[in-house]
Amino acid sequence: MPAQPGPPEPPAGTIRYWAAAKAAAGTAEEPYAARTLADALVAARRAHEAAPEFARVLARCSFLVNGDPVGTRDHSTVRLTEGGTVEVLPPFAGG
């Protein structure tokens, strides 16, 4: 009997960090492989757990997924796409 295929791989794309998020992450961008924004953020926190400031900054950020603001939507409901982009935007001071 042939082996059953496993679940499909999660979509892959890019997370881009801006300003304080970029400084806390120590990089301007990195890849994601996740089905939802919540999953991508869990993986990012895990990848940067040696930098505690990263989690603090991330908690204050807003997000764009493929150019669309996430706003107050539950991150577990925000689906990611193959080749997509997540922009991580910390609060900006000034005007």
* Predicted local confidence at residue 93, as pLDDT: 61
C-beta pairs of 68-73 under 8 Å, 24+ apart in sequence: 70/37
Q: How confident is the model at residue 91 (pLDDT cuts 50, 70, 90)?
A: confident
In order of 3, 4, 60, 67, 81, the CA distances from 38 in angstroms are 31, 28, 15, 17, 13
- Helix, strand, coil tally for the chain in percent (to 5): 30, 25, 45
Res. 3: pLDDT tops 70: no
Q: State if pTM tops 0.95.
A: no
